[in-house]
Amino acid sequence: MNLARTDHPFTIAGKTYSSRLLVGTGKYKDMEETRLAIEASGAEIVTVAVRRTNIGQNKDEPNLLDVISPDRYTILPNTAGCYDAESAIRTCRLARELLGDHTLVKLEILADQKTLFPNVVETLKAAKVLVDEGFDVMVYTSDDPIIARELEAIGCIAVMPLAGLIGTGLGICNPYNLRIILEEAKIPVLVDAGVGTASDATIAMEMGCAAVLMNSAIANAQQPILMAQAMRHAIEAGRLAYLAGRMPKKLYASASSPLDGMIG
Amino acid sequence: MHIQLNGETYALSGPLSVAGLLEHLQLAGRRVAVELNFEIVPRSQYETTHLKDGDALEVVHAIGGG
């Protein structure tokens, strides 16, 4: 059986990217560390949150979009922190205006603060409205293959199941569900959330994910900029291994050195 | 008159457009987006959109997030 695969470009909303690593901009020490880590990661798509401006405060504070320029990066505004469809939809509309007719969004609706698990009921509702309004919706969801299928049917452009809960760094907790999602989906599947270290990202890519989105794994590392570099290599290694097709696993040994020509 | 600005009551001394308010808040020209009573106010309409007593205004920007 030949498991080798041919590569195909990573395309999101009509634009092709060479990096399959998407990174968040939260949890960094300061703007400079954010900038350096994102540069080191090689990411071309960068998530941001949309929040109320602090009225009367921090007027001279640098704006994130001045540091992470939309001219250089594809900005992926998220709806993180939203717990219902209505606030997520409002956030996406504000993001579209903020970024100047920008239709690419990451839809994320949470269910409770302890788990930050996706609320798929509200997510399905919001996805329908946003797709109808012309948004290109990349959707954060649980690792439920049936929900992933529904979100694809609604017209989301990428489905992004969690590997583990947000910010836990537990890695891919349910690889079999992820495999089913990967086998069924016709749109890109990205792992979003739960990655803890480079090997987690590599495993996701070896399994055939189109890309991986992460924030905490880089920002919460002891040395974020170094971890950003590690993640860049991990994603590339995983993708290459996926394309190469791994050797079959065997129970018994198989010598790598030929037996012919042995002395004695 | 009073408006709700980002969830807080905010007093205005006289009639003001969205553009005027952003100027007053030193947010003119910054990367922000505005929602008035649950509807987006496009940048092109900041000058012509006038605030009324009781209006609910949201002014947002991008910050770090995952």
What H or E segment, with its residue span, contains residue A17? strand A15-17
- From B23's Cα to the closest Cα of chain A, the distance in A is 12
Residues of A in contact with B8 (CB under 8 A): 55
Distance between CA B63 and CA A206 in Å, rounded?
32
The token pair at A173 is 């907790």
The one catalytic residue in A27, A29, A106, A250 is A106
Tell me, yes or no, whether B17 lies in a domain. Answer: yes
Q: What is the pLDDT along chain A (264 residues), one digit of tens a residue?
A: 555 688 889 999 999 999 999 999 999 999 999 999 999 999 999 999 999 998 876 566 778 998 999 999 999 999 999 999 999 999 999 999 999 989 999 999 999 999 999 999 999 999 999 999 999 999 999 999 999 999 999 999 999 999 999 989 999 999 999 999 999 999 999 999 999 999 999 999 999 999 999 999 999 999 999 999 999 999 999 999 999 999 999 999 988 998 899 998
Tell me, yes or no, whether B41 lies in a domain. Answer: yes
Find the CATH number of the domain harbouring B23: 3.10.20.30
The per-residue pLDDT for A22 is: 98
Does the distance separating the beta carbons of B60 and A98 come in below 8 Å? yes
- Are A140 and A192 in contact by the 8 Å Cβ rule? The answer is yes
Chain B residue at shortest CA distance from A53? B60
- Closest partner residue to A80 (CB to CB) among B5, B41, B66 is B66
Does the distance separating the beta carbons of A65 and B65 come in below 8 Å? no
Mutate to test the interface with B, among A46, A53, A97, A101 (most CBs of B within 10 A): A53
Chain B residue at shortest CA distance from A30? B64
Tell me, yes or no, whether B55 lies in a domain. Answer: yes
ipTM of the complex in this document: 0.94
Nearest-Å Rg of the Cα atoms of chain B is: 12
User: Which of B52, B54, B57, B58 has the alpha carbon at shortest distance from B14?
Assistant: B52
Overall number of domains in chain B? 1
The 3-state DSSP composition of chain B as helix, strand, coil percent (nearest 5) reads 15, 40, 45
Active site residue A114: no
pTM: 0.92
- Say how many CB pairs under 8 Å bridge A and B: 105
- From B62's Cα to the closest Cα of chain A, the distance in A is 5
The per-residue pLDDT for A56 is: 74
Residues of A in contact with B32 (CB under 8 A): 53, 98
CB atoms within 10 A of CB B30: 15
Tell me, yes or no, whether B66 lies in a domain. Answer: no
∠ at Cα A135 (A43, A87), nearest 5°? 95
The token pair at A215 is 């924030």
Tell me, yes or no, whether B56 lies in a domain. Answer: yes
The per-residue pLDDT for A139 is: 98
Phi, psi dihedral angles at A139 (to 5 degrees): -120, 125
Tell me, yes or no, whether B50 lies in a domain. Answer: yes
Tell me, yes or no, whether B45 lies in a domain. Answer: yes
Residues of B in contact with A59 (CB under 8 A): 26
The token pair at A119 is 């609320």
Domain that includes residue B21, residue range: 2-61
Chain A residue at shortest CA distance from B45? A97
Does the distance separating the beta carbons of A94 and B40 come in below 8 Å? yes
The per-residue pLDDT for A59 is: 63
Whole-number Cα distances in Å, B7 to A189, B34, B55 = 37, 13, 11
CB atoms within 10 A of CB A216: 19
The per-residue pLDDT for A3 is: 58
Tell me, yes or no, whether B11 lies in a domain. Answer: yes
